[in-house]
Amino acid sequence: MAGDGNGTERHDRISGVVVGVDGSEGGRDALAWAARTAERSGLELTVLVAVSMPLISVPFGRPVRLSPTPEVADRASTLLGTETELVVRAHPGLRVNTVVSAQEPAPALIDASDRADLVVVGSRGLGGIKAAFLGSVSLRVAAHAACPVAVVPPGYGHDYQEKRRIVVGLDGSEQSAGALRFAMAEAARLGAAVTAVRAWRLVSRPDPKTADGAAVAEAQAAMAERVAQDMRKTVEEVRTGETAEVDVEVEAVEGQPAHTLITSGGDADLIVVGSRGRGGFAGLLLGSVSQTVLHHSEVPVVVVRSTGAAAPG
């Protein structure tokens, strides 16, 4: 379909960076973040709104979802025009596609992830056209999308100043190596440094009333160094020609995984995690750890499912 003269095209092609919008302030911040990422990566931006049309039963067949009515389609079109106007002004060279989906937000974005390099959602919002991009939608998309997913909290609009620091969680798994690969590729593109973090705990802690304090401290230091050495080895295994110049610092921290990652990432542009793991980040996106990170991080979190995932572009 022909463009409308302002850098956007309205059709159902999905590619590049896909962002869900819903008219909320949080959705607009996610859109601004997605636009910066798409432009930096040389990708198209696809802006998607889900209108949540109902399913109807068909005798002897599968349920069929109703198509948007003209009124619903008009409201969605107006919303898309409003949401993309500022993006087009801020990024005049960015190619922007818009899509109206009859599905609910989470399934629409999960389906879109099959053709996307990155899916972006706000951590909170109104959703649907009125009430759907809640935390549960963000979690569903992050857990089930086929490509990396960025969950963006409020405060990352067009005036955000980048700090050029990315934090990534490592735990020794192939999945976390994929997260590191993504983080290093994004750092190379952004001109940022990477901090790789791994949480560890002693299997058994000596009784402080009877233990030799110096011996305990020595054991802790030795454990931290072993973990750090393993992390440095992983960094060099993941490093490629494109990421040869990326500065990667490793931090082996005794503590709880979610708290460690959130604390280290508090002054970063981005936290990157794998969607499966063991050890320091076991259970991420499977239970309480994932909800803690995604609900309480004050910076965007990218969840990487693929072990070989690279940054978009």
Question: Does 160 map to a domain?
Answer: no
d(CA 282, CA 293): 13
Question: Does 2 map to a domain?
Answer: no
Q: Which residue has the higher pLDDT, 313 or 254?
A: 254
Question: Does 159 map to a domain?
Answer: no
Does 123 lie in the same domain as 54?
yes
Q: Any alpha helices (H) in the chain, and if so which ranges?
A: 25-41, 70-90, 105-112, 135-144, 174-190, 213-238, 257-264, 288-296
Query: So what's the pLDDT on residue 310?
Result: 64
Which residue, 125, 152, 179, sits at the end of a domain? 152
Question: Does 84 map to a domain?
Answer: yes
Question: Does 121 map to a domain?
Answer: yes
Does 12 lie in the same domain as 146?
yes
Does 120 lie in the same domain as 240?
no
117: which 2 tokens? 């390099």
Query: So what's the pLDDT on residue 300?
Result: 94
Does 147 lie in the same domain as 193?
no
Query: So what's the pLDDT on residue 2?
Result: 31
Does 240 lie in the same domain as 110?
no
Question: Does 83 map to a domain?
Answer: yes
Does 239 lie in the same domain as 192?
yes
CB-CB contact of 117 with 145 (8 Å): no
Which residue, 129, 152, 175, sits at the end of a domain? 152
Q: How many domains does the chain have?
A: 2
Which residue, 120, 152, 184, sits at the end of a domain? 152
Question: Does 282 map to a domain?
Answer: yes
Give the residue-averaged pLDDT of 171-195.
Answer: 92
78 three-state secondary structure: helix
d(CA 146, CA 164): 27
d(CA 244, CA 162): 22
Q: Supply the CATH number for residue 206's domain.
A: 3.40.50.620
Does 174 lie in the same domain as 147?
no
Does 120 lie in the same domain as 197?
no
Does 137 lie in the same domain as 26?
yes
- Lowest mean pLDDT across 40-49, 97-106, 236-245: 97-106
Does 83 lie in the same domain as 13?
yes
Give the residue-averaged pLDDT of 255-260.
Answer: 89
Does 190 lie in the same domain as 141?
no
Residue range(s) defining the domain that contains residue 137: 8-152
| 73: confidence class by pLDDT, cuts 50, 70, 90 | confident
Which helix (H) or strand (E) is 121 found in, with range?
A: strand 118-122
Q: Are strands 8-10 and 55-56 parallel, antiparallel or unpaired?
A: unpaired
Question: Does 204 map to a domain?
Answer: yes
Query: So what's the pLDDT on residue 74?
Result: 80
Does 179 lie in the same domain as 52?
no
215: which 2 tokens? 């011996």
Query: So what's the pLDDT on residue 5?
Result: 34
- For the cut 70, the answer to whether the pLDDT of residue 90 exceeds it is yes
CB-CB contact of 303 with 285 (8 Å): yes
